[in-house]
Chain A
Amino acid sequence: MMFLKIALYLILAPLIGGLLSGIDRKISARFQGRQGPPLLQPFYDLFKLFEKQALVVNGVQDFFVGGYFVFILFTGCLFFVGGDLLLVCFALTLAEVFLMMAACSANSPYSAMGSQRELLQMMAYEPMLLLTAIGFYIATGSFMVDDIAKSSVSPIAYLPGMFFGFLYILTIKFRKSPFDISTSHHAHQEMVKGITTELSGNILALVELAVWYEDVLLLGIVGLFIVNMQWWSFLIAAVVCLFAYILETFVDNLFPRVKWNSMLKSTWLVTLIAGGVNLLILTLVH
């Protein structure tokens, strides 16, 4: 069963992730009055990237990117086989640190700037991520994803504030405007491609693929808010995930990028108010 789940995740996640990315690009294009690329364009891009030779600036970059890729997959597997949610957060952090180190090792101005911004993003979203895990624990009595998914009432009933807070940090995690400050889908002027500036060819392809895996993992957490022991709750969860993704696309197109300080302040404030108050009430009631 466990191996089946892992296999399913490893095969399906990139398909879903790529497809979502295609939808994202299509919607964004329509926003801007363009036709947009075909739905499967992200896959074509990825295959092409894998074909290409990588240009590297040193010998350790591919090592760190490999670490990032492996640990993102590991984290996803851990989540979908029903592991400990806190450990999922910690493993995700480890993966991100690998990506940050890959950028730092390049000793290039743009990727160095991207790496500092990436760290700042991690600092911004980490509290809310941990708080979400804690929220699930208090609401359902367990940190294990398996047990949470079998609760009698959907956790969102207890965790509306946390849900909002999580959607807020999802913008950072999906690298969407207004919080796409460390890198983004579009090469921005002042930071080129930020953290991925010095990555190319098949190494960049690994990063792209890892991002799809990560997106599915994050949507999995969104879904976890919705699911309960009834089978149909999984369908609702899937719909909610799709809506959450499209919502992020809308946000991406509607808001201009902000500076790092507004991102940090607003995220911590949302965490404190939406997450903290939710936690406080939950602790008092339970």
Chain B
Amino acid sequence: MNFLENPSFSYIMLCAFRMKMRGNKFKGETVVIMEMIATLMVFPFLAALLIACAKPGKLRDGLIFCSSIVIVATVLLLCINVLQGGKTQSYLMETQMLDRIFLIAELGLMGLVFYYGIRYKRYYILLLSAAGTLPVVWMEFAGRGAQGGDHIVVDYLTLIMCLVVGVVGSLICVYAIGYIKDYHKHHTEYKDRSSFFLSMLFVFMGAMFGLIFSSNLTWIYFFWEVTTFCSFLLIGYTQTEEAINNSFRALWMNLLGGLGFACAILYSSMALHIANLQDLVAAAANNKAVIIPVTLLAFAAMTKSAQMPFSRWLLGAMVAPTPTSALLHSATMVKAGVYLLIRLSPALYGNLAGVMVTSIGGFTFFAASLLAISQSDGKKVLAYSTISNLGLIAACAGVGLHQAVWAAILLLVFHAVSKSLLFVSVGAVENITGSRNIEDMHGLIVRLPKLAFVMIVGICGMFLAPFGMLISKWAALKAFVDSKSVWLVLFLIFGSASTLFYWGKWLGKLVAVIHRSAQLKDTVRKSEKGSIYTLTFLVIALCISFPVFSNIFVEPFLSQTFHDTIGAIISSSDLNVMLLMLCMIVILPVTVRLLTFGKANKRVISYMAGVNEGDDRTFVDSFGHEKSMYLANWYMDDYFGEKKLLKPSLVLASAIMTILMIIVIGGAI
């Protein structure tokens, strides 16, 4: 069951690009950049083809490793080159032939969706897919689509996304080499299709690169649908009934979003004669009708970013092997949605479309962080946390002000790094202990000290000062206050408090020290270790170097987009204070020595009202029998359980979304 469409497609695309390059007379540097873009868009597909054909073994592993290095190196080179050029660059004005190829590939993709829909008897999928694809194809073939405009645009936001997709994505692919071997060792009941799995990861990356470089809406739409389809295949990897159900849920929700995207293309092309994203956003200021495609695109973005009421597909996605979740949650897929929202943000400022995005985003942030409290499955907590953070990013983008979008971009970056770290470390723990339940991580600091430490760094990175996510939440809070969005402020403060609770109790589980527990054998493979430690380093490095990152990438993008410059969002004195905090944490062991100087502590067993059985593992119960002690975290299912909260939240979010979309679109027509 190989995915034949993509390799052939990528080959055609490569040829087309080469021809294009020869045809146009670009100057030296531009050609280099264009070559690199073409490489990033095509190379992952080629790598995927090779990996899919390769047999499991050293050769395949080496291939993945080398491909990842090539991708990271190209991304870094591209960044350096573009930064030297120093301005937004756009390419490919006339691309009729490429457009045709894209449309044929689009039809091919629809054919594949049809195949799966019929094979698993989910006929509604056919309808959704056809409704999205056919009108767009018809419009383009009938020549009714708008022409002109750039097809590929590279600006600072593109570079930021490139770094996230390239670096974090590649690290996850490297991690997957070792992970998938252990996965099949533990799960002999599933068929080993690891080559297919690994090649899909690269297809996914390729599609993401395509998506972020493209400016033409039809092109973005094509890559958008490729990511949808890829995630469908990855989620269904194990082919159990649950996996298939969940993969189809992901498929229909994202196809519905795709349908919204298609409508946006049709409207903007036929009614407004605008073919590309940047022009659409620029036109928003003068043309009231632009709000219709903008709303539809925002809708598509929110399905992809798993905002309520479409959050359930992302939760279902955790049936897949961990690298899938890591990739979906951090570097790709859901980030495609918020990326689009960030692009749209100037068009969302001060109108009802913006209100829709902020209210859904803010509400999702709050509701998902409450729901996370009741979960004990590590990956599920991570999934809810992702949904909740994406909500915050969406809310920031929806506000559409300079500093809110600053917060959104930084949230996106910090979240990608911290969340992928958490996923890969949970996956590694699961491969060793056989469980990803947080309750089973009790005392991990003794049993697997290195992984526990890495996980602690990841968790702190998600919610504590002076680490990354908190900085961006801080900026978001300021932006919400300045834009006078009282509801957003309230959502943010209550949501942050719940966030604190569920991360805090996870931290507590990790650091418990149980008497007479021994270290487990660390069977994490080399490739996994390499990627885990690199990500850990990135979390810490980003938290020190984010002002630099902001100056090089984020600020130039924002001043281009909003045509203004504002002062530092986090003042330099605050930055110094935070740096000081970080130093204090580093030297804490020494400080503590000084504080407790001259006193030798005496070791005792913990207090259990005098009924311990010699250690803190067992006690004597009321019948005089020995009983083992078990300390559970609080989950408060009666208050925050899915049964209690999920349905009302989904209903409420659906209501908000439907009503606001009707008002916006109806009002504009």
- Cβ-neighbour of A197 out of B486, B504, B607 (below 8 A): B607
Q: CB distance A93 to B508 under 8 Å?
A: no
- Set of chain A residues within 8 Å of B577, measured between Cβ atoms: 78, 83-84, 87
* Any B CB within 8 A of the CB of A119: yes
* Any B CB within 8 A of the CB of A208: no
Could you say which of B69-77, B314-322, B511-519 contacts chain A? B511-519
Residues 251-286 of A contacting B (Cβ, < 8 Å): 261, 268, 271-272, 276, 279-280, 283
* Any A CB within 8 A of the CB of B474: yes
A53 vs B501: C-alpha distance when bound (angstroms): 33
Q: CB distance A60 to B513 under 8 Å?
A: yes
Q: Quick one: closest B residue to A268, CB to CB?
A: B494
- Set of chain B residues within 8 Å of A100, measured between Cβ atoms: 504, 507-508
- Set of chain A residues within 8 Å of B507, measured between Cβ atoms: 97, 100-101, 104
- Set of chain B residues within 8 Å of A242, measured between Cβ atoms: none
Could you say which of A23-31, A129-137, A232-240 contacts chain B? A129-137
Q: Quick one: closest A residue to B508, CB to CB?
A: A104
A279 vs B490: C-alpha distance when bound (angstroms): 9
* Any B CB within 8 A of the CB of A217: no
* Any A CB within 8 A of the CB of B505: yes
* Any B CB within 8 A of the CB of A158: no
* Any A CB within 8 A of the CB of B271: no
Could you say which of A13-21, A34-42, A106-114, A147-155 contacts chain B? A106-114
* Any B CB within 8 A of the CB of A12: no
Residues 497-541 of B contacting A (Cβ, < 8 Å): 497-498, 500-501, 504-505, 507-509, 511-515
* Any A CB within 8 A of the CB of B291: no
* Any A CB within 8 A of the CB of B608: yes
Can you name 11 A-B residue pairings with CB atoms under 8 Å? A57-B513, A70-B588, A84-B574, A87-B578, A91-B581, A104-B509, A122-B504, A126-B497, A127-B496, A192-B609, A197-B607
- Set of chain A residues within 8 Å of B608, measured between Cβ atoms: 108-109
Could you say which of A3-11, A61-69, A170-178, A222-230 contacts chain B? A61-69
Q: CB distance B599 to A130 under 8 Å?
A: no
* Any A CB within 8 A of the CB of B443: yes
Q: CB distance A115 to B508 under 8 Å?
A: yes
Add 20 more A-B contacts to A57-B616, A87-B578 (CB < 8 A): A53-B599, A54-B601, A55-B602, A57-B513, A63-B592, A71-B581, A104-B508, A105-B511, A107-B606, A109-B606, A109-B608, A116-B508, A119-B500, A119-B508, A126-B493, A130-B477, A137-B481, A271-B494, A276-B486, A283-B484
Q: Quick one: closest A residue to B497, CB to CB?
A: A126
A274 vs B577: C-alpha distance when bound (angstroms): 32
A25: min CB distance to chain B, Å: 25
* Any B CB within 8 A of the CB of A159: no
- Cβ-neighbour of B489 out of A65, A110, A111, A279 (below 8 A): A279
- Set of chain A residues within 8 Å of B470, measured between Cβ atoms: 90
Q: Quick one: closest A residue to B507, CB to CB?
A: A101
- Cβ-neighbour of B513 out of A107, A124, A206 (below 8 A): A107
Most buried by A among B465, B514, B633: B465
Q: CB distance A116 to B595 under 8 Å?
A: no
- Set of chain A residues within 8 Å of B602, measured between Cβ atoms: 53-56
* Any A CB within 8 A of the CB of B464: yes
User: Using an 8 Å CB-CB cutoff, how does the interface string of A177-209 with B read, 1 for contact, 0 for none?
Assistant: 000000000000000100001100111001000
- Set of chain A residues within 8 Å of B604, measured between Cβ atoms: 55-57
Q: CB distance B497 to A66 under 8 Å?
A: no
A280 vs B432: C-alpha distance when bound (angstroms): 51
A83 vs B574: C-alpha distance when bound (angstroms): 8
* Any B CB within 8 A of the CB of A138: yes
B650: min CB distance to chain A, Å: 22
Q: CB distance B505 to A119 under 8 Å?
A: yes
For the residues of A in contact with B, the DSSP-based class is helix
* Any A CB within 8 A of the CB of B562: no
- Set of chain B residues within 8 Å of A108, measured between Cβ atoms: 606-608, 616
Q: Provided the pairs A202-B599, A276-B486 are in contact, do residues A107 and B496 lie with their beta carbons within 8 angstroms?
A: no
Residues of B at under 8 Å CB distance from A? 443, 445, 464-466, 470, 474, 477, 481, 484, 486, 489-490, 493-494, 496-498, 500-501, 504-505, 507-509, 511-515, 571, 573-574, 577-578, 581, 584-585, 588-589, 591-592, 595-596, 599-609, 616, 629, 631, 633-634, 639
A195 vs B412: C-alpha distance when bound (angstroms): 36
* Any B CB within 8 A of the CB of A86: yes
A259 vs B474: C-alpha distance when bound (angstroms): 32
- Set of chain B residues within 8 Å of A107, measured between Cβ atoms: 443, 512-515, 606, 616, 631
For the residues of B in contact with A, the DSSP-based class is helix
Q: Quick one: closest A residue to B594, CB to CB?
A: A66
Q: CB distance B508 to A279 under 8 Å?
A: no
A94 vs B500: C-alpha distance when bound (angstroms): 10
A64 vs B596: C-alpha distance when bound (angstroms): 12
Q: CB distance B591 to A66 under 8 Å?
A: yes
A66: min CB distance to chain B, Å: 3
Q: CB distance B606 to A111 under 8 Å?
A: yes
* Any B CB within 8 A of the CB of A120: yes
- Set of chain A residues within 8 Å of B477, measured between Cβ atoms: 86, 130, 134
- Cβ-neighbour of B588 out of A56, A63, A90 (below 8 A): A63
A57 vs B501: C-alpha distance when bound (angstroms): 25
* Any B CB within 8 A of the CB of A123: yes
A124 vs B494: C-alpha distance when bound (angstroms): 9
* Any B CB within 8 A of the CB of A250: no
* Any B CB within 8 A of the CB of A168: no
Q: CB distance B599 to A283 under 8 Å?
A: no
Q: CB distance B489 to A261 under 8 Å?
A: no
A138 vs B584: C-alpha distance when bound (angstroms): 32
Q: CB distance B588 to A66 under 8 Å?
A: yes
- Cβ-neighbour of B464 out of A94, A106, A116, A261 (below 8 A): A94
Q: CB distance A86 to B496 under 8 Å?
A: no
Q: CB distance A261 to B639 under 8 Å?
A: yes
B455: min CB distance to chain A, Å: 13
Q: CB distance B504 to A67 under 8 Å?
A: no
Q: CB distance B599 to A201 under 8 Å?
A: yes
- Cβ-neighbour of A131 out of B445, B493, B504 (below 8 A): B493
- Set of chain B residues within 8 Å of A268, measured between Cβ atoms: 494
Q: CB distance A109 to B513 under 8 Å?
A: no
B640: min CB distance to chain A, Å: 11
Q: Provided the pairs A54-B601, A57-B616, A63-B589 are in contact, do residues A127 and B606 lie with their beta carbons within 8 angstroms?
A: no
* Any B CB within 8 A of the CB of A74: yes
Most buried by A among B466, B470, B514, B616: B616
Q: Provided the pairs A107-B513, A202-B599 are in contact, do residues A57 and B606 lie with their beta carbons within 8 angstroms?
A: yes
**For the complex of A and B, 7 pairs with smallest distance between CB atoms:** A66-B592, A104-B508, A108-B606, A90-B465, A126-B497, A58-B513, A123-B501
Q: CB distance A93 to B481 under 8 Å?
A: no
Q: CB distance A198 to B606 under 8 Å?
A: yes
- Cβ-neighbour of A62 out of B490, B596, B633 (below 8 A): B596
Q: CB distance B601 to A53 under 8 Å?
A: yes
Q: CB distance B465 to A53 under 8 Å?
A: no
Q: CB distance A123 to B465 under 8 Å?
A: no
Q: CB distance B588 to A62 under 8 Å?
A: no
- Cβ-neighbour of B486 out of A65, A111, A271, A283 (below 8 A): A283
- Set of chain B residues within 8 Å of A203, measured between Cβ atoms: 596, 601
B121: min CB distance to chain A, Å: 46
Q: Provided the pairs A84-B574, A261-B639 are in contact, do residues A70 and B486 lie with their beta carbons within 8 angstroms?
A: no
A137 vs B603: C-alpha distance when bound (angstroms): 48
Q: CB distance A56 to B607 under 8 Å?
A: no
A108 vs B493: C-alpha distance when bound (angstroms): 32
Most buried by A among B500, B514, B596: B596
Residues 74-91 of A contacting B (Cβ, < 8 Å): 74, 78, 83-84, 86-87, 90-91
A272: min CB distance to chain B, Å: 7
A206 vs B477: C-alpha distance when bound (angstroms): 34
Q: CB distance A67 to B465 under 8 Å?
A: no
Q: CB distance A127 to B486 under 8 Å?
A: no
A134 vs B480: C-alpha distance when bound (angstroms): 10
A97 vs B459: C-alpha distance when bound (angstroms): 12
- Set of chain A residues within 8 Å of B605, measured between Cβ atoms: 57
B85: min CB distance to chain A, Å: 38
